[in-house]
Amino acid sequence: MRLAALLLAAFLAGCGARSASGPDLDVILAEAPAETLSAYGLFADIAAANPASGVVPYELATPLFSDHAEKHRLVFVPGGKSAAYLKDDVFAFPVGTVLVKTFAFAPDMRTPEAGAYRVETRLLIHKETGWAAYPYLWNEAGTEATYSPVGGRRTIETISPAGDPLTIRYAIPNQNQCKTCHQAGSALSPIGPKARNLNHEGQLEDWAARGILTGLPAGLAPAPAMYDVSLPVEVRARAWLDINCAHCHKPDGSASNSGLWLSATETDPVKLGIGKHPVAAGRGAGALMQVVVPGKPDDSILAFRMASVEPGVAMPELGRTVPDPDGLALVRSWIAEMDAP
Amino acid sequence: MKLTRAAFALPLAIILAACGQEAVTPAPDAAGLPAPLSAEGDFGATLQAALISAKPGDTILMPEGTFSLIDPLSLDVDGVTLRGASQGGTVLDFAQQAGAGEGLLVTSDDVTLQDFTVRDTKGDGIKSKGADRITYKYLTVEWSGEPDETNGAYGIYPVESTDVLVEHVTVRGASDAGIYVGQSKNIIVRNSVVEYNVAGIEIENSTGADVYGNIARNNTGGILVFDLPALPVSGGNSTRIYSNQIVANNTRNFAPPGNIVAGVPSGTGVIIMANRNVHVFENTFDNNRSAHVLITAYSEPFTDPAYNPLPRDIVVRDNTYSGGGDDPQGTLAPLAAALGGQLPPIVWDGVATWTGATEPQAVNLTIAEAPEVGFLNLGVPAYPLDPAAIAPSPDRPVGTPPAEPAAIVLAHVKD
C-alpha cells in the first residue's frame, strides 16, 4: 500500500501535477522561475491559500509597512535540512528554502479577512547560486498567480485600519526592485527572518520543534514589537526603523552611500542621523538641515520623508504610496523625547 | 535667403563642434545592432522587461520617440548596452513619474548607456551604484523650465564604483549637481556640457579623477571637488581639472537648504573643499561673479575622527582668467564687502586647523599664475567663522607642488 502511494506520487510528479504532493524541489531549484505559482507545490489548495504539508506560516513581530497590505508569510525548508540560528543576521537557510509572502487587500482593512483578495505573491528562493526573487501576480478569480518580472500598478480602493477611505496606486515591484530592498553586498538576502523579528509567541521554539531551525539558544529575549506599548518608545521606534529602513540603510545595502544606517543594532548617533547633514537627498531634505534633530520631529528630515508621498521625497522609496501613520507617530515620538545634545 | 542662412549656419556649426558646445551623436553603425524595441503599447513595461531579460553582451536599442514613463527603470545585468536612436531622438520623459528615487538605476558592471535623453525625473536622473566600468556617453539629462528647487538632485550619478567614464553628455537643471561622482575611484568626466545646475560637476569623496574638456556655464558653481565626513568612503584625493571652460556660473543657488551645495556662493568657478592633491590648470575662467577658484576647509562641526577638513596639496596654475569677482554672493558677500566689494580670481579661506586637530596641518597651496592674477587669503583662523577675527592678505602661500597624478586610465576604455 505504502509502495503504491510512493509510486503514485512519483507518477504524479512525472505528470507535473504538484498540488497534491507538496513542494517540488526540481521546480524550486530550476534555473528559471516557474510560470505559475502553483507549479512549486507550495499550496495544497492554492485558491484557498492552504499551504502544503511542510510549508509553515510565520509572522514578524514588527512587519514592514506596505500600503496597509495584509501579508501572509510561509517558509519551506526542504525535508532533512534546517536553518542555522544567527544572533543578529537572517538565519542561514539551506539551499532549497522558499520564503513566500502574499500581499492581500480587503474592501475594509479594519476587517481584513472579509472579502480579502490577493494581489501578488513574492518568492525568495535559496538556489545553489544564492537567493533569487520572483514576483507573481494573482488573477482576478484568485485561483492562480503568474510570474510577472515587470511589476506594475494596481488601483486599490479600501478603508484604512484607522477608518479612512483610501485610494492606493499600489506598486507591484519589478524583479530588479526586489534587489533594491533585498541587497546584501552584491547578493540578495531575505530581510525579515531573523531572531529579532521572529522570536515572539513561541514561533522560534515551534520552528525548532519542526526541525527547520537548529542552534536556537534557550532564554532568548523576545523580539521587540512596535505595537507593544509596554516597551520604551525608543525600542519600538528602533524596531520600526529596523524592519522598514535598515534593509537599505546598512553598510552593504542600497542606501549604503548615505552613511545613514538604521538597524536596531546601530549605536553611533551620527549614523542614526542625529545631527547628520543630508548627503545625496536633494529635495528629499525639504528645507531641513539634519536627518534627526533631537526634540524636534518637525525639523527632522527622517520624519519629513516618512510623511511624504511624493516620489523623490518619500521614504522608503519602494513599497509604499501612502504614509504609515503608526510608524510615523512612533518615530516622531522618539525624536520628540530625545534630549538635545 | 536660404543660401545666406546655410552659409551662416555651417561655420557656426563647425565652431560649436570645435568648442564641444553641443555633443553631436555619431550615426549608429547599423551593423551589429539589434532591432529596436517596439514603440507600441506600454513602452515602460517593454523596456523594463528587456532590461530584466537581457543577457551579458546584449545591446538594447530603443526606438526614436518621446516616451512617458510612470515607473522608474533599472538594470542589473552585467555587460549590457542601453542605447537610443540619438541623444535627442529617444526621450524618456518622467514628468508623470509615480515612484522611486531616480529615472534609471544601474547596479551591474560593464554597462554602457548612450544616445538618449532622460527628462524631468522626480529624483535623480540616472544613477549607477556599485557599477564598475560604466560608460555614460551622448546622453542628455535635463529638467525643463527654470532652475527649480523641486528638480531632482543629480543628473548623472555614479556612486561606489570603480572605472567611471562620462563623456559627451549634457545636463541641465539639477538642484544639486549635474554630473556627480561620489565615493568612487578612477574617473574620467570629459567633453560634456553642464549648465543651469547648482553644481555643474562634483567629484566627492572619490580618488583619482580627470575632469577635462568640459563646459561648465550658468551653474551656481562650475566644478566642485569635495570631501565630506561621516560617509562610508572618504579621504578623497588626486583629481585634475584641466582644459575646461568655466564661464558665468552665476545662477542663483536653488539647492534645498540642508544639502552641502546649498552653501555654494553663486558665481564660483571651481571649489576645492577638504580634498587632497587637486590640480587646476589650463582652464578658461570668465565672468564668475564671486570668484573663479575658491579653496576652502569644511566648515561644519563633525565627529568623524578619520576626517581631515582641510584642502591639502593644491596646485592652481596656468589658467586664463577674465571678468568676475565683481559681485560676490553668499558667505563671500559680507567678507568681500569688508574688502571693497570685489574678490580676486583665486580665494583661499586660510583655515589651517580645526577643533580636535592635534597639530597644525600643512595645507600646502601652490598658486603658479602670472603675477597679475589676484589672490586673496581671507585669513580665517578656524571655523565657526568669526568675521571679526579674519586677517585677509593678498600674499600667495609658498607651497611645494605635489607631483601631479598620472592621467587616469580606465580598465574599459581604449584611447
Kindly provide the ipTM of the predicted complex, given to two decimals.
0.86
pLDDT at A152 (0 to 100):
84
Residue B37 included in any domain? no
Residue A7 included in any domain? no
Upper half-sphere CA count for residue A83 (Cβ side, 13 Å) = 28
From CA A114, how far away is CA B14, in angstroms rounded? 71
Given A223, A253, A285, which residue is the final one in a domain? A223
Q: What is the share, in percent, of chain B residues with pLDDT greater than 70? A: 92
- Quick one: closest CA in A to B178, which residue? A282
pLDDT at A305 (0 to 100):
96
Chain A CB contacts of B160 under 8 Å are 256-257
Question: Could you tell me the three cell numbers for B200?
Answer: 555643474
One-letter amino acid identity for B1?
M
Residue B402 included in any domain? no
Residue B239 dihedral angles phi and psi, to the nearest 5°: -125, 140
Q: Cβ–Cβ of A177/B100 closer than 8 Å? A: yes
Residue A146 included in any domain? yes
The alpha carbon of residue A125 is apart from the nearest alpha carbon of chain B, in Å, by 18
- Provide the mean pLDDT of chain B: 91
- The 10s digit of each residue's pLDDT in A308-324 is 998 889 999 888 899 99
Chain B CB contacts of A303 under 8 Å are none
Residue A2 included in any domain? no
* Length reported for chain A: 341
From CA B263, how far away is CA B255, in angstroms rounded? 9
Q: Give yes or no: residues A68 and A38 share one domain.
A: yes
From CA A40, how far away is CA A34, in angstroms rounded? 7
Interchain CB contact of B309 with A (< 8 Å): no
Determine if residue A58 is left, alpha or beta; phi over 0 gives left, psi from -120 to 50 gives alpha, anything else beta.
beta
Question: Could you tell me the three cell numbers for B62?
Answer: 530603443
- Please identify every stretch of chain A with a pLDDT value under 70, giving residue numbers as ranges: 1-20, 341
Single out the residue of B180, B293, B300, B313 nearest to residue B237, CA to CA.
B313
Residue B12 included in any domain? no
* Length reported for chain B: 415
**Who among A281, A289, A311 is closest to B153 (CB)?**
A281
Residue A296 included in any domain? yes
Q: Give yes or no: residues A43 and A185 share one domain.
A: yes
Measure the N-to-C terminal CA separation of chain A; round to a whole number of Å. 75
**Who among A149, A283, A317 is closest to B153 (CB)?**
A283
Alpha-carbon separation of residue A259 from A83, A250, A274, B101 (angstroms): 31, 8, 12, 17
Residue A4 included in any domain? no
The alpha carbon of residue B148 is apart from the nearest alpha carbon of chain A, in Å, by 10
> Beta-strand (E) ranges in B227-283?
237-242, 245-247, 268-273, 276-281
Residue B25 included in any domain? no
- What angle do the packed helices A233-244 and A325-336 form, to 10 degrees? 130
Map residue B6 onto helix, strand or coil: helix
From CA B406, how far away is CA B240, in angstroms rounded? 9
The alpha carbon of residue A100 is apart from the nearest alpha carbon of chain B, in Å, by 21
**Who among B45, B152, B180 is closest to A312 (CB)?**
B152
Residue B396 included in any domain? no
Q: What angle do CA B83, B86, B89 make, to 5 degrees?
A: 115
Q: Cβ–Cβ of B122/A311 closer than 8 Å? A: yes
From CA A182, how far away is CA A192, in angstroms rounded? 10
pLDDT at B357 (0 to 100):
80
Residue B239 has pLDDT above 70, yes or no: yes
pLDDT band at B31 (very low <50, low <70, confident <90, very high): low
Look at B11 and A285; give whichever has higher pLDDT. A285
Q: Which residues pair with B204 in a beta bridge?
A: B182, B226
Chain A CB contacts of B150 under 8 Å are 283
pLDDT band at B92 (very low <50, low <70, confident <90, very high): very high
**Who among B98, B123, B257 is closest to A169 (CB)?**
B98
From CA B125, how far away is CA B357, in angstroms rounded? 39
pLDDT at B20 (0 to 100):
39
- How many whole angstroms from its chain centre is CA A202? 20
B residues 65-104 lying closer than 8 A (beta carbon) to A: 70-71, 74-76, 97-101
| Span B159-175, average pLDDT | 98
- Quick one: closest CA in B to A177, which residue? B74
> Beta-strand (E) ranges in B302-406?
312-317, 320-322, 346-348, 365-368, 375-377
Report whether A166 contacts A217 (CB < 8 A). no
The alpha carbon of residue A255 is apart from the nearest alpha carbon of chain B, in Å, by 9
**Who among A256, A278, A317 is closest to B101 (CB)?**
A317
Residue B39 included in any domain? no
Chain A CB contacts of B152 under 8 Å are 282-283, 312
Upper half-sphere CA count for residue A75 (Cβ side, 13 Å) = 24
B residues 169-198 lying closer than 8 A (beta carbon) to A: 175-176, 180, 182-183
Q: Cβ–Cβ of A312/B122 closer than 8 Å? A: yes
Q: Specify the number of domains making up chain B.
A: 1
Per the omega criterion (within 30 degrees of 0), is the bond before B384 cis?
yes
Report whether A281 contacts A289 (CB < 8 A). no
Q: Give yes or no: residues A195 and A230 share one domain.
A: no
Chain B CB contacts of A259 under 8 Å are 230-232
Q: Give yes or no: residues A266 and A206 share one domain.
A: no
Q: Cβ–Cβ of A283/B152 closer than 8 Å? A: yes
Q: Give yes or no: residues A275 and A128 share one domain.
A: no
Q: Count interface pairs A-B at CB distance under 8 A.
A: 140
Given A207, A223, A239, which residue is the final one in a domain? A223
Interchain CB contact of A251 with B (< 8 Å): yes
Single out the residue of A264, A287, A261, A283 nearest to residue A272, CA to CA.
A261
Chain A CB contacts of B123 under 8 Å are 282, 284, 311-312, 317
B residues 208-237 lying closer than 8 A (beta carbon) to A: 228, 230-233
Q: Give yes or no: residues A193 and A253 share one domain.
A: no
Q: Cβ–Cβ of A151/B48 closer than 8 Å? A: yes
Residue A161 included in any domain? yes
pLDDT at B338 (0 to 100):
85
pLDDT at A223 (0 to 100):
87
Q: Cβ–Cβ of A287/B257 closer than 8 Å? A: yes
**Who among B99, B101, B303 is closest to A171 (CB)?**
B99
For A154, the enclosing helix (H) or strand (E) is strand A152-159
Chain A CB contacts of B124 under 8 Å are 280, 282
Q: Give yes or no: residues A42 and A173 share one domain.
A: yes
Given A223, A243, A275, which residue is the final one in a domain? A223
| Span B320-329, average pLDDT | 97
Report whether B59 contacts B29 (CB < 8 A). no
- Provide the mean pLDDT of chain A: 90
**Who among B124, B152, B232 is closest to A251 (CB)?**
B232
| Span B259-271, average pLDDT | 95
pLDDT at B128 (0 to 100):
97
B residues 327-386 lying closer than 8 A (beta carbon) to A: none
The alpha carbon of residue B183 is apart from the nearest alpha carbon of chain A, in Å, by 7
From CA A136, how far away is CA A120, in angstroms rounded? 6
Q: Cβ–Cβ of A282/B175 closer than 8 Å? A: yes
Q: Which residues contact A25 (CB under 8 A, 6 or more apart)?
A: A78, A96
Residue B96 included in any domain? yes
- What angle do the packed helices A175-182 and B43-53 form, to 10 degrees? 60
Residue A43 included in any domain? yes
- The 10s digit of each residue's pLDDT in A168-194 is 999 999 988 888 889 888 889 999 999
Question: Could you tell me the three cell numbers for B301?
Answer: 562641526
pLDDT at A54 (0 to 100):
94
Q: Give yes or no: residues A253 and A305 share one domain.
A: yes
Q: Give yes or no: residues A335 and A315 share one domain.
A: yes
pLDDT at A178 (0 to 100):
87
Q: Cβ–Cβ of A277/B260 closer than 8 Å? A: yes
Q: Give yes or no: residues A70 and A182 share one domain.
A: yes
From CA A224, how far away is CA A252, in angstroms rounded? 24
Residue A49 included in any domain? yes
Interchain CB contact of B48 with A (< 8 Å): yes
Q: Specify the number of domains making up chain A.
A: 2
Residue B6 has pLDDT above 70, yes or no: no
Look at B107 and A6; give whichever has higher pLDDT. B107
Q: Give yes or no: residues A108 and A141 share one domain.
A: yes
State the residue range of the domain holding B194.
57-389
One-letter amino acid identity for A88?
D
State the residue range of the domain holding A129.
12-223
Report whether A145 contacts A120 (CB < 8 A). yes
Q: Give yes or no: residues A65 and A32 share one domain.
A: yes
Residue B218: which CATH number?
Answer: 2.160.20.10
**Who among B154, B157, B160 is closest to A256 (CB)?**
B160
Q: Cβ–Cβ of A289/B257 closer than 8 Å? A: yes
